[in-house]
Amino acid sequence: QQPVQSPQAVILREGEDAVINCSSSKALYSVHWYRQKHGEAPIFLMILLKGGEQKGHDKISASFNEKKQQSSLYLTASQLSYSGTYFCGTEGDGNKLVFGAGTILRVKS
Amino acid sequence: DTGVSQDPRHKITKRGQNVTFRCDPISEHNRLYWYRQTLGQGPEFLTYFQNEAQLEKSRLLSDRFSAERPKGSFSTLEIQRTEQGDSAMYLCASGSGNQPQHFGDGTRLSIL
């Protein structure tokens, strides 16, 4: 079952914040976040294992609520380089990832 | 660490032809994954290997698709009798343990 991401798209000005949500109907072992720019490979951002932990580096952080089967990605003080499509990949049984349809983020100057 | 390498980057072929793609994973990774991505969608799981063993294959995967990883290093994905609907970006990723999957740049397949 594909996780549901929201919003589908968001436009920000440099310096503004954004939250991208990922919700699954299945029990999750972990959530993986990637960013993909047009014509390029998805780039790994962070992985969250079950336990409700929050991780982050620089101005990007994420949380994982395993009881609600939800994860959120927080982008603080956005930069032009943050533009791209963000995907969450959820891992249940087995080692494969099931990806959402993506959230398109555009940061304008 | 040279990253995940895929070849070719682009493939244009006529409907009905067979195509084969190659993926070279990061050397210390024992897991290798194949995904397919179409415009506006996230990567869709096709199959994965742990070392040379193919452990899971998507139920959506037609029997025209076959993948191998004969020595637990590089992998090939073959599509026989290609159809228009096979046009997509084919992505390979590798990983190990609880480490994240790292993706290659993909092979873009266009069916004429």
Q: What is the pLDDT of residues A21-76, one digit of tens each?
A: 999 988 888 899 999 999 899 999 988 887 656 666 678 999 898 888 899 999 99
- Contact B47/B67 with Cβ under 8 angstroms? yes
- Contact B26/B3 with Cβ under 8 angstroms? yes
Which member of A44, A98, A101 has the closest CB to residue B100? A44
Over the stretch B5-56, which tens digit does the pLDDT of each residue have?
999 999 999 999 999 999 999 998 999 999 999 999 999 999 999 999 999 9
Name the residue of chain A whose CA is nearest to B5's CA: A41
Name the residue of chain B whose CA is nearest to A4's CA: B42
SS3 for B85?
helix
**Amino acid A52: pLDDT:** 59
The string of DSSP codes covering A30-72 is EEEEEEE-TTS--EEEEEEETTT-EEEETTEEEEEETTTTEEE
Q: List all residues of chain A from 17 to 76 with a beta carbon under 8 Å from chain B.
A: 30, 32, 34, 40-44, 47, 49
Show residues of chain A in contact with B105, CB under 8 Å. 40-41
Residue corresponding to tokens 């000005």: A13
Question: Which of A39-43, A104-108, B75-79 is the least confident region?
Answer: A39-43
Name the residue of chain A whose CA is nearest to B41's CA: A101
